[in-house]
Structure 1
């Protein structure tokens, strides 16, 4: 009898490592794969997946910002029966429908970067976007308390995270000497070339425009085009007559700031979003409770600290 018990214990012990090595396939769906911001989220999720050992990070989204294509990709992942989904939501109504379909199929879903809070998703990992907008507006006020006319550039009009940033900028500048021009914000739909063109269009349409605040890094993701624009107004930027406060702090942006092509940046932490997305999905898959909101923080960068940021 004793031998039988010992043998049974041994069999259980042998079985545990196999169970511990159960593999999970988690899909990360960005708004657009041609946006370098999401490359960092991809790198973060792949690094964390490798560290965890039993997780695979599958990264796939639309090549360009196309909400309908994103919804179809999510639907395809549901059909493939992935173990979890992390989605940067392009269009809240479209995403809400497919998120419900995923949850109904038993697939845990979180959002990252851009949320759909009324959906069936379990958690959001990313920036407090209202605070992000407030930080952009406060940075502009700090640099130019004298005020003037400003304009914003946004991405997709249906993206809740971007709408919150726009709202935050406006709230920060309310009651100040800054006024927003008609036609602001413009929407580039994450097209970096169009974002640069919109900067020039705004300046052409408003000769007395004193500042442009892109609420995402799009124009700087086309560095040569951005340099071409900034060079036309380099003297006004140096003299404090024209100011560029841009969202995000990718390396290319930090280098542009260091070389005086912008005045300040306010950045998110996309790499950390990718890491935390993997941890959160794994916890959900194990039946653990997770916080509904997981904020990843902001970084404020000017000429004073850009060198330190480039070394990080």
Structure 2
């Protein structure tokens, strides 16, 4: 490792990266995590979304667009990952608060784009009573929206998901995805570096929640302009 003053890292794998982070810290270099945290490590602070809370917000949005009743399928590209488990926990909490809503299943789609779509298509064929699809991340959101678009099912099946991929933005504009939650990636990256700078100046730093940005047909034009 070359000489660096600080390290900001998005910790996709908690187990694999904890020893590395601790090694960097032991070398006297401050480390903060952003986007995905590594609480097992000795990192100094985390800048990002509270994942359980963001899942809760997604669940509340789903309840709202379904008018508090219906059958919901949760989709995720990696059901075993900690970020997914956290977000699912929040989503299920919010959905459970509505007696008229039932979570039918959690669909683990894997990460391959073709397979994500097929997995959603097969699940919808197997359970035509599903009226809500709640995606926990970037990549099954546009797949669910595309399924709705192709099947002209926007009046019957509501989709709520995450991130602002171009395809997702278009599907929100067309009404095939009802709402998407932005993770403010620029804000997270900026905040992580900012925390390191504060630390290097001798200030005390703590976790920073970058919040959730909710986008629907009403305000998605802001993103489309960018």
Give the TM-score taking structure 1 as reference length. Answer: 0.65
Q: Which has the higher helix share?
A: 1
Tell me the residue number matched to 1:12. none
Residue 46 of structure 2 contacts residue 208 of structure 2 at CA under 8 Å; is this kept in 1? yes
Q: 1:178 aligns with which of 90, 101, 106?
A: 101
Q: What root-mean-square deviation, in Å, do the aligned CA atoms of Structure 1 and Structure 2 show?
A: 2.2
CA distance in 1, matches of 2:37, 2:7: 13
Tell me the residue number matched to 2:150. 232
CA apart distance, 1:197: 2.8
CA distance in 2, matches of 1:274, 1:218: 21
CA distance in 1, matches of 2:219, 2:71: 27
Q: Deviations over 1:140-181 (max 9, x none)?
A: 111112522211122334532222111110000114222122
Residue 47 of structure 2 contacts residue 210 of structure 2 at CA under 8 Å; is this kept in 1? yes
Tell me the residue number matched to 2:78. 156
User: Which structure has the greater CA radius of gyration?
Assistant: 1
Residue 136 of structure 1 contacts residue 169 of structure 1 at CA under 8 Å; is this kept in 2? yes
Q: 1:99 aligns with which of 3, 11, 21?
A: 21
Cα pair distance change 1:137/1:201, threshold 3 Å = same
Tell me the residue number matched to 2:182. 267
1:279 has 2:200 as partner: no
CA apart distance, 1:247: 1.1
CA distance in 2, matches of 1:84, 1:155: 31
CA apart distance, 1:271: 0.8
1:294 has 2:208 as partner: yes
Residue 258 of structure 1 contacts residue 306 of structure 1 at CA under 8 Å; is this kept in 2? yes
Write the mapping of 1:1-312 to structure 2, written as runs, cut at 5 A. Answer: 79-176=1-98, 177-182=100-105, 184-189=106-111, 191-220=112-141, 228-234=146-152, 236-237=153-154, 239=155, 241-291=156-206, 293-311=207-225
Tell me the residue number matched to 1:71. none
Query: Residue 131 of structure 2 aligns to a residue in which SS?
Result: strand
CA apart distance, 1:244: 0.8
CA distance in 1, matches of 2:190, 2:127: 42
CA distance in 2, matches of 1:226, 1:86: 33
Structure 1, unpaired ranges of 5+: 1-78
Cα pair distance change 1:245/1:228, threshold 3 Å = closer
Cα pair distance change 1:119/1:266, threshold 3 Å = same
Q: Deviations over 1:31-65 (max 9, x none)?
A: xxxxxxxxxxxxxxxxxxxxxxxxxxxxxxxxxxx
Cα pair distance change 1:134/1:100, threshold 3 Å = same
Query: Residue 211 of structure 2 aligns to a residue in which SS?
Result: coil
Tell me the residue number matched to 1:4. none
CA distance in 2, matches of 1:117, 1:206: 38
CA distance in 2, matches of 1:227, 1:171: 24
CA distance in 2, matches of 1:195, 1:262: 16
